[in-house]
Structure 1
Amino acid sequence: MNFMRTAMLLAFMTALFMGVGFLLGGRGGMMIAFLVAAAMNFFSYWNSDKMVLSAYRAQEVDERNAPEFFRMVRDLAANAGLPMPRVYIFDSPQPNAFATGRNPQNAAVAASTGLLNRLSPEEVAGVMAHELAHIEHRDTLTMTVTAALAGAISMLGNFAFLFGGNRENNNNPLGFIGVLVAMIVAPLAAMLVQMAISRTREYSADRRGAEICGNPIWLASALAKIAGDAQVIHNNDAERNPATAHMFIINPLSGERMDNLFSTHPNTQNRIDALQRLAAEFRPASPGFGQGSTEPQQTAKPARKTRSVPDTGWGRDGSQPRKGPWS
């Protein structure tokens, strides 16, 4: 089912790309756009992870230079039954994270320095479990390739300004109207596709992420902090690459609060409310999580069978969630 959804999405985005080419250059422009889109799809499939990680100048880490964070991801991946992804950190004061890669065997997760510095280990565990859920659901390929094509369509819309000044362009079958459509409608349609992808998949990843880390409240608390900080701390790389905004756990662009058609993510409070309802279904294992037990809470009727979270030392003493420093 995920394969079919991905294929249909890529077909739609390719057709949209070709439509922009037709509006700008007629049949010749459409054929050029088709060849470019095919090349981009092929390139993005094999290099989608490298493209996004490079855009954010993410640095790969391991157990030597980020031992606590690396071990956390390893333990969560084991709990989810996933291969160990590559682990990256990118320099941004805004707390945020994303996952990328064409499949679980070639996946990567990335966290900002702001996430590791401003959130507790328990909250970071909730965030990384959410990103692992995207990998498990095979969302990462679709989200990354869509970002590449949406960015290209927006770029074509900008190029339409050049065509708009040439009223005698015989290759443009619709004249100025075609240019106007290419400038406005096509980028808007690509943006709406991005929004639909993110909005429909975030709730599912939230739920599965809560199961992977063992405590929905960790993720709920993290979402509240990230959303608040994202409004006042700019992510400059994200502002330069807005087509990738839907890949993050919280929209990294400034000014995105409302849960409406034009937001790339569901309203954060709605997500928190859903996680709190899920937490009510979790029952603490005796003698109670955070009261000497090293096992996370388990659902009374879990959505799927999961192994217990390995003993990583997070939140075992019943105290308030701890903050870094992270090594």
Structure 2
Amino acid sequence: MMRIALFLATNLAVLIIASITLKLLGVDRLTDTDLTTLLIFCAVIGFSGSFISLFLSKWMAKKSTGTQVIDQPRTHHEQWLVATVQRLARDAGIGMPEVGIFPAYESNAFATGWNRNNSLVAVSQGLLERFSREEVEAVLAHEIGHVANGDMVTMTLIQGVVNTFVMFFARIFGSFVDKAIFKNEDGPGIGYFVATIFAELVLGILASIIVMWFSRWREFRADAAGANLAGTGAMIGALRRLQAESGRESEMPATLSAFAISAGLKTGLAGLFMSHPPLEVRIAALQQRG
């Protein structure tokens, strides 16, 4: 129920921001014959959703995972966790993130936030219970690597570009079908709306392949950053521990899977939609790196 409420709130915010921005730009009346106007319209809508999700990312992550931020460490384990993140953040040259723990048996962690100096790093209770401190440190270093690399912002920009062109070409296709097949010259008709929705679905699937390819590439960079901060051996050890537990079903919300340390494994064509490379490939890359 909470996730549905978050989804509706985000989309409502997108509509409000997009409406205000379009009126300020003077393009609130869309005409498909004007490609520049159409492109501006699509860019505003496409980037609005991405940036609103980015700015709300920490709040949404806390609500959807039940993450409890450690404001004042109460136990020796919490003190160690906060001190470790503080040291890794300092070594990576970023501001101190918020540190949290979320209640999940699955061993996982994630990082999110709208900039390098205003982020959140959280680990699951299961990871803390079953991983050694060296392995936990490596996982934290991987997540700090995501923050230091600016992955959240970069992913937002790529998603915004993808959203823009999916909407743009879908509407061009819809206009073509409406006029060429349905011979409608009196403005958008039923053919336009059906063809546009169909094109958005197809192009959206193809665009997801591009976004997920970039997401997989980011994981190699975050692994390398984690190896630099915590040691290559520790990073490989953490990934091997995750590999041993990879049979468990992921409890991570889909909206955060791209920023987690691990995600579900898919094969065949479904592998094109993986947010993470296979763990054995990531381990091999670190071994080759030395």
Q: What is the TM-score of this pair, normalised by structure 2? A: 0.68
CA distance, structure 1, for counterparts of residue 121 and residue 160 of structure 2: 18
Q: Equivalents in 2 of 1:57, 1:27: separation in Å?
A: 44
The match for 2:289 is 278
1:116 and 2:133 matched? no
The 3 A distance-change label for structure 1 pair 117 and 182 is same
SS of 2:69's partner is strand
Amino acid across the alignment from 1:204: R
Who is 2:236 aligned against?
220
Q: CA deviation at 1:126?
A: 0.5
Which is worse superposed, 62-71 or 119-128?
62-71
2:55 corresponds in structure 1 to: 46
Against the structure 1 CA distance between its residues 125 and 150, is the aligned structure 2 distance closer, same or farther, given a 3 Å change threshold?
farther
Measured in 1, the distance between the counterparts of 2:61 and 2:206 equals 22
Partner residue of 1:137 out of 146, 149, 169: 149
The answer on 1:178 being equivalent to 2:196 is yes
Could you tell me how far 1:87 is from its partner in structure 2?
A: 0.6
For CA contacts below 8 A with separation 6 or more, give which structure has more relative contact order: 1
Task: Structure 2: give runs of 5+ residues left out of the alignment.
Answer: 1-17, 19-29, 167-181
Is contact 1:100-1:108 (8 Å) kept? yes
Superposition TM-score, scaled by structure 1 size = 0.61
Task: Name the residue aligned to 2:11.
Answer: none
1:110, distance to aligned residue in structure 2 (A): 1.2
Q: What is the distance in 1 between the residues matched to 2:159 and 2:246?
A: 20
Q: Are positions 1:265 and 2:276 aligned together?
A: yes
Counterpart-to-counterpart distance in 2, 1:88 and 1:175: 45
The residue that corresponds to 1:128 in the other structure is 140
Alpha-carbon offset, residue 212 of structure 1: 0.7
Alignment partners' CA distance in 1, 2:159 and 2:64: 12
1:219 maps to a residue whose letter is M
Give the C-alpha shift of residue 92 in structure 1.
1.2
Determine what percentage of the aligned residue pairs are the same residue: 29
What are structure 1's unaligned runs of at least 5 residues? 1-13, 15-24, 155-166, 280-327
1:131-170 counterparts in 2 under 5 A? Answer: 131-143=143-155, 170=188
Partner Cα separation in structure 2 for residue 55 and residue 150 of structure 1: 25
Whether the aligned pair in 1 keeps the contact of 2:90 and 2:96 (CA below 8 Å) is yes
Residue in structure 1 matched with residue 222 of structure 2 by the alignment: 205
Aligned to 1:188: 205
| Residue aligning to 1:295 | none
How big is the shift at 1:114?
A: 1.6
